[in-house]
A and B are shown apart, each in its own frame.
Chain A
Amino acid sequence: MEIVSSYVEKAEERVQEAIVSGKVKKVPALTEAQEEELALYAIARMIVSCANNRYLINRYAVAEAKKTNDYLSSDSSAHPEYVDAVAAEFGIKFEKSGAQFLVPLGKYLTYTPRSTDYKLANREVSAGKVKVSNHERVRMLEEAVKKKIERELPIRAAFPADVKASGARVLALLPKLESAVVKVGQENYPPCVRRMIEELSLNVNLPHTARVALAIYLVRAGMPTDKIMDIFRGAPDFSEKTTHYQVEYLRTKGYAMPSCSTMDSYGVCVAQCHCGTPLNYRANVHGRALKREEPNEERARGESEGKK
């Protein structure tokens, strides 16, 4: 396999950009540029595959997906056929309904982000179709691109030497996550919180609702903002500024911790420990331990102390 070496260089720049800024620059879709654009995309995928690192793959997927959104948002009014063409790639057919669009239920559920904005219960659902706005339609395609890249990479193949070298350089550019993710005293955290922290450290793209719940928990558990930010550093779309703003926002607004049943509806409840809200978990576990291990008088004392 032979690849124009200037393309490899440019493709490497593209991946580096994804790591550093979390975005891939939009290029004007001129006919002459299209071939290059396609080649760059293909080579960038090879470079990411060579590096073979889950954080890189997921972060790269987020960046490419955002670029899709940028393109389609600006094209959707001038060239609605572009949006349809991308949708067709994912087997999605949007049906026009006034100023909005109808999308089949299964596709809606597969390609909308899990956030309260997209909660099916508050949507117009009829005859197996869900109504979405143009903006939401493009957001679905962004999610589809992200999922596709996450699923497809790494590609397993024998790559040319310059692509491999490029992969190695990109890998060296990655932040040292092992040291960035703080060791938190996790043993007292409820199973759902432990799982979310663990997933973030594995660079899983947690849904928005789960991230909010985790941040509220950590704020309420008394963790300072910079420590919380360290936990979120593992998120493939982590942005220092946005995360800081959001955590501080949750802190000043004093949001209540979602109940266990809400956590369950977010799909993040993993243990059914029936403590009402994850914040009660510590108290409950502590209470149970006391009941098992201590004689009556001490238990009574222990419980009243626990309430202080």
Chain B
Amino acid sequence: MSGLVMSNEEKFLHKKFSDYYSSSTVSVRGLEKREFGFGGWEKKIEFRHLSFKNESELRARLVAEAPLYISHSLAYYEFPDARPMPRKIWEGSDLIFDLDAEGHTCGKFTCQQCLDRVKADAIKLIEEFLLPDFGFSKSELAVNFSGSRGYHVHVVSDAIYDLDREARREIADYVSGTGLSFERLFWNEGKKFFGPSSSQGGFGGKFARAFVAKLTDDSFAISIARKLKKPEEKEKLKMAIERGNWDNIGITNREKKLSEKFEEMKLTMAGRIDANVTADTSKLIRMPDSIHGGSGFSAKRLSSPDAITSFEPMRSAPVFRSAPMKLKATEAIPALNIQDFSFGPIPAGEVRELPEACAIYLICKKAACIFP
């Protein structure tokens, strides 16, 4: 908690959050082995090294303190509250993928475009990396909304439980295509030139498939060889590549052209994740189904990885639905839609009455104050 005097807004949020936790259940896998961290108005993690014996103890604390941010470790420790870190005795850790709109261009307020883009990133991560390449089953994946504008994909599996930071860094680098090299996927042996087939695992296969798919685009095809204008030539090349034959394809300057295309296509083949989060074995991450103090939205747990396709954060993640409230904008607020209610833009200084979820969102964003 910040300072000695809490603002009206801060008091109000604590009351609302406390009510929320008193009427909801908390469930965290392996709760007694996790480290917890709480944050407030000023900082997302103000206190860490907390631990709880069971769900009712944690819930009682959440009701009493109503922290604005609640995180827990991905790691399981023998002594989660011990410090410094080595004393905790690390036993293992879930694998995490953090997808966020941070790098996207919208500012402080959540925009639909960003949400859509991050959702597409998350679907790509699951469908093109976690399931086919890493071989995780859907039941090993737990997906939740971050509560702000991203998603967290937790992998709970014996296959990754005791991997160290370096191993996790390799996984993160794989997903983001870091260290990917054309020379390692294509090579010369004697006079022959070798490359990946479409059915091959890893980025080799991804490239072969993407390359074949792009051949339908004439400008792409022609940039490789003029003869590829002809459908029958395209078909011949497709069939050769599908079998992994990049050798006798009758293209001049073959290696140079392919490596250029490879460099161009690298980014679209790779996934977008925060690699540092994946590699960090002592990271604290938002507790699923807790409220994010920067939005008043729930870090809502999805019923299954598939549920993400139809999940609409601005509609389903807000949790408060009591009476409308009067607020005064302390800065200009853009047009927004929360829980299917459209409002704004609101110029700075103006007073509006808004549904509770919208009001709490603006208070959490520190963009409005309660109008007495």
Q: A residues bordering B, Cβ < 8 Å? A: 104-106, 109-110, 114, 116, 119-129, 131, 207, 261-262, 265, 267
Contact = CB atoms under 8 A, between A and B. Distances in A.
Nearest to A126: B201
A182 to B, nearest CB: 28
B203 A104 contact: no
Contact of B178 (A105, A121, A129, A131): A121
Given A110-B167, A128-B136, A123 B202 contact: yes
B200 A124 contact: yes
Contacts of B55: none
The 10 closest A-B pairs by CB, nearest first: A128-B135, A126-B201, A109-B167, A122-B184, A127-B135, A124-B201, A267-B166, A125-B202, A120-B174, A120-B170
27 contacts: A104-B159, A106-B163, A106-B167, A110-B167, A114-B166, A116-B179, A119-B179, A120-B171, A121-B174, A121-B179, A121-B203, A122-B184, A122-B202, A122-B203, A123-B202, A124-B201, A125-B202, A126-B202, A126-B205, A127-B132, A127-B135, A128-B136, A128-B159, A261-B178, A262-B179, A265-B169, A267-B165
A93 to B, nearest CB: 13
Interface in B104-136: 132-136
Contacts of B179: 116, 119, 121-122, 262, 265
Interface residues of B, number: 32
B332 interface: no
B204 interface: yes
Contacts of A267: 165-166, 169, 279
Interface string B249-290: 000000000000000000000000000000100000000000
Contacts of B173: 119-121, 265
Nearest to B136: A128
Contacts of A207: 166
B178 A125 contact: no
B258 to A, nearest CB: 15
B181 A122 contact: yes
A124 B135 contact: no
A14 to B, nearest CB: 30
Contacts of A105: 134-135, 159
B174 A125 contact: yes
Interface in B291-342: none
Nearest to B176: A121
B177 interface: yes
B240 interface: no
Contacts of B166: 114, 207, 267
A288 B1 CA distance: 34
Contacts of B202: 121-126
A38 to B, nearest CB: 29
Interface in B142-174: 159-160, 162-167, 169-171, 173-174
A110 B163 CA distance: 7
Given A265-B169, A267-B169, 8 more contacts: A121-B202, A122-B179, A124-B204, A126-B201, A128-B136, A261-B178, A262-B179, A265-B179
Interface in B177-192: 177-181, 184-185
Given A122-B179, A125-B174, A106 B160 contact: yes
Nearest to B159: A106
Contacts of A104: 159
A122 to B, nearest CB: 4
A267 B280 CA distance: 11
Contacts of B205: 124, 126
Contacts of B162: 110
Nearest to B180: A121
Interface string B11-37: 000000000000000000000000000
A262 B136 CA distance: 28
B189 to A, nearest CB: 14
A129 B200 contact: no
Contacts of A119: 170, 173, 179, 181, 184
A114 B164 CA distance: 12
Contacts of B185: 122
Given A110-B163, A119-B179, A265-B178, A126 B170 contact: no
Candidate in B135, B171, B177, B179 with the most chain A CB atoms within 10 angstroms:
B179
A265 B133 CA distance: 20
A131 B199 CA distance: 14
B135 to A, nearest CB: 2
Contacts of B174: 120-121, 125
Contacts of A124: 200-202, 204-205
A178 to B, nearest CB: 26
Contacts of A131: 201
Contacts of A110: 162-164, 167
A127 B129 CA distance: 10
A125 B167 contact: no
Given A121-B179, A122-B180, A124-B202, A109 B165 contact: no
A124 to B, nearest CB: 4
Contacts of A129: 135, 201
Nearest to A117: B184
A106 B168 CA distance: 10
A106 B184 CA distance: 22
Contacts of B279: 267
A131 B201 CA distance: 9
Contacts of A125: 133-134, 174, 201-202
Contacts of B160: 106
B308 to A, nearest CB: 21
